[in-house]
């Protein structure tokens, strides 16, 4: 079953429920997260979906449907309590060593730790996951959402980005405006050892006050503006 990561299913004869995960996945961090995710479905959603759940890799981490996001959030809090995560990171600038420390501490993948970092970040920030140089998905915190920062799936990674450069020894860079966004951006890039995948942790310089009325504009405007600007 290609793309299968985990499942929650009712045991018709014995009663109760079972959690399954793909035995072809060898990363303990991914398996832990999948178990937490399916347990979240069990606690939160089994009444709504008596037939259970089958979740692909993109559902377990970075899923977009409501129930997938909820199960994702459950796994994140179960495995990485926010207060403990904050205590690990403190006021340190995120880099690969610190992220790896967090991933090891909670026995999760670097992607899962990166998304937790995003949740704990007080500044305007986003995480961009790309494969073969193209954005697969991204997640942003509330400050980045307010600033309408957006990286559409399928977008080519910016030419000057660490992720596009392909050199794992670079680690992090302070970018001038215009590389990732119209503001100076700090990027930490992680090069995963499979699927040609990169994870960019981005912190954007504060935007200050937004113009009045900006909240009323739909999100689509940000996408339109982005595509117009990138032409």
> Strand 53-56 and strand 4-10: pairing?
antiparallel
Distance CA 227, CA 155 (A): 9
Residues of this chain that interact with Zn ion (CB under 5 A) are 53, 55, 59, 68, 71
Q: What's the min distance (Å) between Cβ of 32 and Zn ion?
A: 15
- Decide whether 39 or 180 has the Cβ nearer to Zn ion: 39
Q: What's the min distance (Å) between Cβ of 199 and Zn ion?
A: 21
Phi, psi of 118 (to 5 degrees): -60, -40
- Decide whether 42 or 223 has the Cβ nearer to Zn ion: 42
Distance CA 67, CA 47 (A): 12
Q: What's the min distance (Å) between Cβ of 64 and Zn ion?
A: 11
Report which secondary-structure segment, H or E, holds 6: strand 4-10
- Decide whether 8 or 163 has the Cβ nearer to Zn ion: 8
Sheet of strand 53-56, all strands in order from the earlier edge strand to the far edge:
17-21, 4-10, 53-56
- Decide whether 59 or 187 has the Cβ nearer to Zn ion: 59
Token pair for 194: 């499979």
Phi, psi of 210 (to 5 degrees): -85, 150
What residue has token string 């910016």?
158
- Decide whether 75 or 155 has the Cβ nearer to Zn ion: 75
Contact 198, 172 (CB under 8 A): no
Angle at 100 between CA 57 and CA 122, to 5 degrees: 85
Distance CA 132, CA 210 (A): 35
Q: What's the min distance (Å) between Cβ of 8 and Zn ion?
A: 8
Q: What's the min distance (Å) between Cβ of 76 and Zn ion?
A: 13
- Decide whether 112 or 179 has the Cβ nearer to Zn ion: 112
What residue has token string 């996945």?
25
Instruction: Output the residue with the shortest Cβ distance to Zn ion.
Output: 55
């Amino acid at each position: 079953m290609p793309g299968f990561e985990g499942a929650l299913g009712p045991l018709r004869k014995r009663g109760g429920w079972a959690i399954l995960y793909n035995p072809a996945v060898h990363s303990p961090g991914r398996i832990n997260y999948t178990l937490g995710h399916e347990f979240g479905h069990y606690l939160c959603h089994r009444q709504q979906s008596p037939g259970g759940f089958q979740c692909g890799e993109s559902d377990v981490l970075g899923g977009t449907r409501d129930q997938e996001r909820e199960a994702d959030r459950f796994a994140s809090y179960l495995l990485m309590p926010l207060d403990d995560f904050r205590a690990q990171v403190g006021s340190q600038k995120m880099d690969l060593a610190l992220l790896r420390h967090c991933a090891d501490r909670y026995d999760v993948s670097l992607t899962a730790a990166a998304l937790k970092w995003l949740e704990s970040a007080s500044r305007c920030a986003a995480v961009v996951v790309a494969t073969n140089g193209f954005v697969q998905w991204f997640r942003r915190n509330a400050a980045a959402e307010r600033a309408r920062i957006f990286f559409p799936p399928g977008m080519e990674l910016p030419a000057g980005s660490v992720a596009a450069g392909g050199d794992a020894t670079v680690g992090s860079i302070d970018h001038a405006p215009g590389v990732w966004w119209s503001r100076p951006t700090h990027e930490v890039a992680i090069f995963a050892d499979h699927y040609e995948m990169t994870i960019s942790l981005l912190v954007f310089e504060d935007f200050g006050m937004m113009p009045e009325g900006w909240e009323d504009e739909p999100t689509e405007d940000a996408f339109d503006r982005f595509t117009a600007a990138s032409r």
